[in-house]
Every structure is written in structure tokens, then in C-alpha cells.
Structure 1
């Protein structure tokens, strides 16, 4: 299964992607909230470009999944987990090596992206932070790409469940063949993993018992923002994606 995806469906999560532009502005764009403008003032270089692009993309994603124009779409202050406007929307952001991603839905979710060719010191990370079951099959596989899948799963899971990394990386256990077990038995959770634009893109979201195994999220690649980060609705670009897996996260046992 592979192909373009540019149409959003309000009944399932949406993923919005765009490539970062390395363009600065003298002042914060007029559409930014006071909190965002103050945060931007303390950033420089790549971190400033990432912040500008991701906050622009956030409004593009919200506008495309609602009837609101981008300039009326507002996130909460702090980490943008929810939208103030439109109401009832959950958000998640991720950016890495020039690509920005925003996920939107009416239920909690978390997204994480990593370049597929990244080669961290994954063995040391797994030994320190992963469960014995995870270490056993990962060390046997000896595959950095499998590690990246596990890492993005755990990052997306923690974002979706509203927790930080410290002390929580083992609340989702990734077993061989990517069977997933989490510590949130009172809700139905799903995980989708894709290869797109040279990146591993992983989304964890809270679904319902009616969500089937084929209910993949929508993925849209937008044209990058203009140099002044104006909020006119961006055009879409063709994007093809390869599915890695789509799984139910079972109750940990």
C-alpha cells in the first residue's frame, strides 16, 4: 500500500507536513499570540526557524480541518496540545532536520518524526532506557532502523498520553514484530508508522472500538511558507508514503 494522500477526513487523524524555510523576520508575525511572540524573541538560528515554521503549519492544519481561516486558529499557551480555536481540537508538533509535522484530531494524539538514515548510539540508549524484552529482540536484530521505529513510538506515546520522558519510556513496551503494550487500559489506542519524505513519521492516537485496522491517518504535504510567513492557505504538494505498520496498543500485562 502506497500512494498520495492530500484529502483530510474529519473522522480520523490528520498529519500535516512542510519543509522548514531558513528565513527570519525582524518581528514576530502579527498572527502570533503574545506567548508565542515572547518565546520567539528568545530563540535564534535553526530553533527560531523551526518555531516560526511549526507555528505557521499548526494554523494551516487547523484551518484545513475546520471552517476557520488560519488567522483565527489559536493554540493554547505553552506546549500546544490543544486548540483554543477551533474548540475541541487536539494537537501535536514535531520537527527534525528541516521537516515540520503537525497532527490534529478530536481526540488526544502524539506525533514524532526522525530522519530514516539517522544513526544514533542506539545500543547505549536501549541499554539504559528500554525493557529487557525490547533489548533482547533489538540487539538480536542489530538494526538501527528498528530502533528508530521503537524510539518514535515511545516519543509519540508519551506526547499522546501527556507525559515526559523521565521515568516513562517503559510505559509503552514494543515487542518483537512490533506488538505494542501500554499502561492505559481504559482507552483504545492506535499507532501508525510511515516512511515519507525520507523520514520515519509515527503517530499514536486515541481511537474507538469502531476504528478498524485499515483506518490510516491522512497525510498532506504543504508548500513551505512564504518568506514573511503570511497565513494565506498553502497549496498542497504530491506526497507518497509507505506504511510501516498500523497497530492496536494492547493493555500491558
Structure 2
């Protein structure tokens, strides 16, 4: 499906129907301008809780609040017309139980206009996913490396190697059976990602997984080179805009200090320029 052929944003069922078809394209977004850049090119845009690290300088996603997600979700929504918006449920907004999850998911969707929420967890979150879906809230699941659980996972490690593989596969099957319309596979070995993709009936969205997944997602600031605190192996830098931005700022600073900026074309004259004569004359 080409970007120019799409007339309206897809919904959760449209995304589910893409299983085994043309790969789904997604990026994260946190602002209106960035959302506008990706709108025509992405099937869905994720307002990720990675905003805490990327835009607020936090060391993890654990301190991201509902209010932050709502603010950034509203900003992203203003930049989208063709892509579906999915929004992350932040840490501690859903783990307590299905009722808590419903209240917060409903608030996120009502206040941002998101088409779905994303939450982390597999088998242990199946009941919550089922509860939300049965009450009209589409859910994108997220398994493998789940950043909100990084402290219990022992860091940002690959998940699903060796004896762990069966548990990650069970997570994928559990969220699909519970009604999730798609599932993000983060930092999962390629062979396991391919196996999950083959065995679950919903689209798999890879981030550090496999080209065989039904779609891919990256953090936009990673792939554009804005966020350089660290670079995961699975990130491909499609541009180095961070370096370009720093070089431009350094050039600006040098010109200000040398008084070469602003130049004549950037300032206003003391007197307004005279208007040219109209050239109208007598008809006689």
C-alpha cells in the first residue's frame, strides 16, 4: 500500500489484517513537526515512553508519567492525518490490575485521540489485555526486552536465547490469544523472532529482531542521529542530524562573537524604503 494511495489512517483491525503482507512501517514521535515528517510514510506512529530518555534526559523510562504521555500524544496527533497513532502506557499505569489499566488506557485515548495503546508484558499481562480489548480498547503488546522491567531483566539484554526461548514464545501466544492486534518483539534473537512470526496470527513488529517480522519500528531520534547517548546494535543511522545541528550552532555562535551576524540583510533600516511611483498619468 503506497503512502499516496492511503486516504485515511488505518485502525487496529487494518493493522491486524496486514499479517503476512507488505511490511508495516513505524517510528516513534514526540512532537508535531516530527509527526508531520513521518505521517505519509508510516502505517502507525508510536508515542513511546522513550520520550523520557530522548527528550527529557531521564536515565530510563520508569519516571515517565501519564501527564507526559498525554502532552506528547496531543502534540503528535496534531501532526498526523494518514498514520495511526499508538500511545505507550507508562510504567505503573497498568500493572496493578485490569481496572487500573482500563482507567488509564481510556484516559490516554480520550485525551489524545490515539487509536490504540501499547503495554509491556506477556503471559502475566494476558488477563489485562483481554479486559481492555473486551471493553473497546485496542492493545498492541510488547515482549522480549521490556524496558519498564529493565531492573528485573538485569539490564538491556537480548531476551529469548537458549532456555528463555520457550518463555518468549509463550508470551507471544498469550498476548495474541488475549486479543492484542499486534506485538512488538524487542531485542529477540532472529530465529526466535521468525518462529514467533510464523506461529502467531497477529503482526509482529521488530526492533532488534528480524527482517522476517511483519513490520519494523525504530526510535526516530536514534535513526536520525539526534540521540547519541548510546547506539544499540539494532539501530541503523539513516542520517547524522545531531552532528549537523551542532555544526550549525557552532557556526552561529562564531558569527555572533565576530559580529558578522546579523548582516545587513537580517536587520531593518531606520527609515522605511520609499514606495515606487505608480506610473499613472493624465489621459489627456
TM-score, with structure 2 as normaliser = 0.31
More contact order relative to length (CA 8 Å, sep ≥ 6):
1
TM-score, with structure 1 as normaliser = 0.34
Structure with greater strand share of residues: 1
Structure with greater helix share of residues: 2
